């Protein structure tokens, strides 16, 4: 076999160094690294030769000209696979990839436990008003603890939007640890499948009206973009909390600010933003009942290593002709297999 005849590249960073270690153990695979600032004379030959692009999942960390769109696809004529570092794939135009016969995969499930723990931590911190208490103690003397009465989460209702890998783990934690009632909205799952995953299937409006906590765990798609706006915040109960560890743009930040300012909901836990990281002067960061983090729900040592390993294993399996388990655009498979066979001389399984 020709050495380095399978070409993979990435820009700026990988989820974990284990990815590079696994690929470098294969003499038939060459892994190239580019930087956001790499000049065209360096980047162009790598892009032209590439069969796979291991892309970062955070859109604002990646230079715009390295996002996968029609322009980049024109510069990567041999590209077969785009693999996201994470579960999300914001910098990837999936429709453009499908039209070009390029397979898109992610690492869904690799950081599910880390993200679910983060959501649960936000839920408990907001319920017990821990972050508010901390801030008051740092600013005032003789704090009146009776002004900071919180609530137990035990026995309350959590509404989970998106019952995939993360949502399922949140449901498991909330049911098992806190004996909470779990209702869920996921148009892609049957009531029977949702019951197996620990949630009662309801429509979105019913979930918003009933839940004491609303947790967003779905991917950002055309259907979910802008899904939670002023109307939806208006359906929530005044004592309810809004928590999102999913993606920015699923909820409307201006509408959330309005709901908090007018006390239509009790508070929010926000790990994702329209602009990441948000500037310190962001309006939502001015509320004491907002718990904020800079898209770190899935950023744990354990999750990063797990994501790096499954990403490497999946890309190697794909380059060896196996069907990847985490395909975003399965409809591209016939076109992809034809392009794969032209590139490597054999058809994938």
**Residues 216, 210: Cα–Cα separation, whole Å:** 15
Backbone angles phi, psi at 5, to 5 degrees: -85, -5
- Catalytic-residue membership of 169: no
Cβ neighbours around 16 below 10 Å, total? 20
Among 5, 6, 23, smallest CA distance to 14 is for 23
Say which of 200, 276, 305, 313 is annotated catalytic.
276
| Nearest one of 272, 233, 208, 201 to 57, comparing CA atoms | 272
Of 129, 295, 309, 339, the catalytic one is 295
**Regarding beta strands 267-270 and 241-244, do their DSSP bridges make them parallel or antiparallel, or are they unpaired?**
parallel
Q: Which of 7, 59, 169, 247 is catalytic?
A: 247
Q: Clarify whether 67 is annotated catalytic.
A: no
3-class SS shares of the chain: helix, strand, coil, % to 5: 40, 15, 40
Active site residue 295: yes
Q: Do the Cβ atoms of 179 and 207 come closer than 8 Å?
A: no
Structural contact between residues 152 and 180, judged by C-beta atoms closer than 8 angstroms: no
- Which residue numbers are catalytic? 247, 276, 295
């Amino acid at each position: 076999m020709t050495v380095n005849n399978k070409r993979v590249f990435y820009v700026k960073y990988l989820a974990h160094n284990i990815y590079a270690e696994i690929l470098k153990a294969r003499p038939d695979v060459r892994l190239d690294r580019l930087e956001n600032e790499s000049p065209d004379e360096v980047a162009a030959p790598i892009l032209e030769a590439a069969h796979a692009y291991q892309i970062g999942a955070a859109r604002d960390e990646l230079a715009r000209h390295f996002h996968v769109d029609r322009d980049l696809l024109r510069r990567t004529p041999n590209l077969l696979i785009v693999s996201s570092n994470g579960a999300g794939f914001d910098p990837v135009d999936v429709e453009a990839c499908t039209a070009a016969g390029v397979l898109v995969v992610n690492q869904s499930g690799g950081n599910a436990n880390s993200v679910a723990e983060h959501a649960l931590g936000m839920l408990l911190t907001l319920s017990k008003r821990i972050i508010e208490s901390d801030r008051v103690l740092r600013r005032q003397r003789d704090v009146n603890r009776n002004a900071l009465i919180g609530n137990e989460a035990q026995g309350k209702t959590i509404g989970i939007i998106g019952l995939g890998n993360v949502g399922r783990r949140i449901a498991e934690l909330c049911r098992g640890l806190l004996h909470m009632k779990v209702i869920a909205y996921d148009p892609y799952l049957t009531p029977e499948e949702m019951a197996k995953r620990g949630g009662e299937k309801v429509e979105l409006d019913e979930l918003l009206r009933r839940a004491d906590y609303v947790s967003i765990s779905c991917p950002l798609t055309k259907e979910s973009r802008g899904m939670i706006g002023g109307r939806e915040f208006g359906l929530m109960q005044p004592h309810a909390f809004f928590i999102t560890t999913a993606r920015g743009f699923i909820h409307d930040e201006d509408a959330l600010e309005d709901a908090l300012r007018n006390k239509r909901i009790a508070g929010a836990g926000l790990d994702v933003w329209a602009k990441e990281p948000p500037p310190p002067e962001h309006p939502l960061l001015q509320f004491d009942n907002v718990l904020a983090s800079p898209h770190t729900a899935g950023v744990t040592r354990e999750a990063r290593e797990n994501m790096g390993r499954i990403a490497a294993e999946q890309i190697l399996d794909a380059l060896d002709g196996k069907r990847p388990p985490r395909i975003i655009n399965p409809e591209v498979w016939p076109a992809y297999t034809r392009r794969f066979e032209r590139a490597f001389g054999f058809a994938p399984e």
